Amino acid sequence: MPSNLQKLPRLAINGYGRIGRCFLRALMESPNAGNLDIVAINEPANLESMAYLTRYDSTHGRLRGEAEIVDSALIVNGQRIAVSHAKTPEIVDWRALGIDLLVESSGCYGRRPELTRFLDAGCPRLLLAHPGLSGSDVDATIVSGINQNTLTGSERIVSAASCTTNAVVPLLDLIEREIGVDQALLTTLHSVMNDQPLIDGYHHDDLRRTRSAMQSIIPVSTGLARGVERLLPQLAGRVQAKAIRVPTPNVSAIDLTISTQRPVSVHSINALLVAATKGPLADLIAFSEEAHASIDFNHDSHSAIVDGSQTRTAGTHLVNLFVWFDNEWGFANRMLEVANHWSRLWPSKST
């Protein structure tokens, strides 16, 4: 815990949708919650809806505590959070809020000129809940537990990558170090997202995403392979990915096939993964051989849960893994870890 003479880092959230609300819940439920002070939320929706969806979540259940409106502010478990409803970065006086970090979870800003608008409006730092559109759009892309020690504290714009990148990078990094990766192919089976309509409609430039989210399995484009290469440049040109949206509200999966440099068996790869769950990656990777369905991992804070019952090999150098992950809750917890780690590198502010 910070000393009584040191101010807690002050955070704000821009975009109070699925990830923004999960981030707030993760902060409230975390044993390290006292290390960060959430002071403001900017969300175009009305305050009544914000309070209601803070209390009740169809996926993650009721809030552990209370959320109410007092004097046009959101009070969550006794914490007063100022609320604004701006649609552009410049309208909010971020400087007056005295924040140290803005969590950008609207998903509307991905290029550096767009993100710089927040900095120009008084935000000292940004943590993105999505990848930058290119590596040059951010100062660093961080996957908690993998490369957070590369942060120096001088960065202005940091991305926490994506939920899928956080799920697959720890596994690929481990297997590359211990067995060696020649090539990897992965398919994400991702639950529906808010860029898909419930019924067919003119909703997206991608024609497939004009189709009803809950009636079809829908292939979509993905930049996952390039995202992996940003974190693991030693695998550049050796990873390819595709993504499929499936009609479930939460919890996704990855079908991961790896051509290995050294011989591998079902027993040896599973043993490696079990060992990883007992070491430094314990908070990131879990392992199970029970007969699971996706809903079993709703509200699971791990980045990836390897389903050992589905591990397969063909010959001695080709292995296939099946990996579950809660694309909301797991990722929100990784974002919180990045925020906590990064904040410890900033110059301290005395009371």
For residue 38, give the CATH number of its domain. 3.40.50.720
Statement to judge: residues 180 and 321 lie in one domain: yes
Q: Return d(Cα 193, Cα 188) in angstroms, integer.
A: 13
* Structure token pair of residue 172: 């690929």
Residue 151 clears pLDDT 70, i.e. is over it: yes
Q: Considering the domain boundaries, does residue 24 fall inside one?
A: yes
**Reported confidence tier of residue 5, pLDDT bands at 50, 70, 90:** low
Q: Considering the domain boundaries, does residue 308 fall inside one?
A: yes
Taking every pair of Cα atoms in the chain, the longest distance, rounded to a whole number of angstroms, is: 66
Domain with residue 291: its CATH number is 3.30.360.10
**Reported confidence tier of residue 351, pLDDT bands at 50, 70, 90:** low
- Binding residues for NAD(+), by number, are 18-19, 327
> What's the pLDDT at 72?
94
Section 170-190 average pLDDT = 98
Statement to judge: residues 91 and 233 lie in one domain: no
> What's the pLDDT at 1?
46
Section 266-276 average pLDDT = 98
> What's the pLDDT at 350?
58
Statement to judge: residues 121 and 185 lie in one domain: no
Cβ neighbourhood burial of 244 (10 Å; 0-12, 13-18, 19+): middle
- Binding residues, by number, are 18-19, 327
Closest CA to 169 of 263, 260, 254, 262: 254
Statement to judge: residues 126 and 233 lie in one domain: no
> What's the pLDDT at 7?
84
Which residues are catalytically annotated? 163
Helix (H, G, I), strand (E, B) or coil at 49: helix
Quickly tell me which residue has 């067995």 as its tokens: 179
Cβ-contact 63, 25 below 8 angstroms: yes
Statement to judge: residues 203 and 303 lie in one domain: yes
Q: Where are the beta strands (DSSP E) in 251-302?
A: 252-260, 285-288
> What's the pLDDT at 203?
77
Residue 296 clears pLDDT 90, i.e. is over it: yes
Statement to judge: residues 43 and 83 lie in one domain: yes
Q: What's the domain range around 315?
A: 164-327
40-53 per-position pLDDT tens digit: 999 999 999 999 99
203-243 per-position pLDDT tens digit: 788 899 999 999 999 999 999 999 999 999 999 999 999 99
Section 1-23 average pLDDT = 85
Q: Considering the domain boundaries, does residue 111 fall inside one?
A: yes
Residue 2 clears pLDDT 70, i.e. is over it: no
Q: What percent of the chain has pLDDT over 70?
A: 97
Which has the higher per-residue pLDDT, 165 or 1? Answer: 165
Statement to judge: residues 124 and 168 lie in one domain: no
Statement to judge: residues 71 and 182 lie in one domain: no
Q: Return d(Cα 13, Cα 50) in angstroms, integer.
A: 13
Closest CA to 316 of 270, 280, 263, 274: 263
Residue 162 clears pLDDT 80, i.e. is over it: yes
Number of structural domains the chain divides into: 2
Which has the higher per-residue pLDDT, 74 or 7? Answer: 74
Helix (H, G, I), strand (E, B) or coil at 140: strand
- Distances in Å between the Cα of 245 and the Cα atoms of 10, 119, 293 are 36, 34, 17
Statement to judge: residues 133 and 255 lie in one domain: no
> What's the pLDDT at 123?
97
Q: Considering the domain boundaries, does residue 146 fall inside one?
A: no
317-341 per-position pLDDT tens digit: 999 999 999 999 999 999 999 999 9
Statement to judge: residues 168 and 130 lie in one domain: no
Label the pairing between strands 126-128 and 140-141. unpaired
- Distances in Å between the Cα of 138 and the Cα atoms of 131, 230, 333 are 8, 12, 21
Residue 4 clears pLDDT 70, i.e. is over it: no
Statement to judge: residues 129 and 194 lie in one domain: no
> What's the pLDDT at 167?
98
Mean pLDDT of the chain: 95
Q: Considering the domain boundaries, does residue 181 fall inside one?
A: yes
Statement to judge: residues 199 and 256 lie in one domain: yes
Q: Where are the beta strands (DSSP E) in 61-173?
A: 67-70, 73-76, 79-84, 101-104, 126-128, 140-141, 157-159
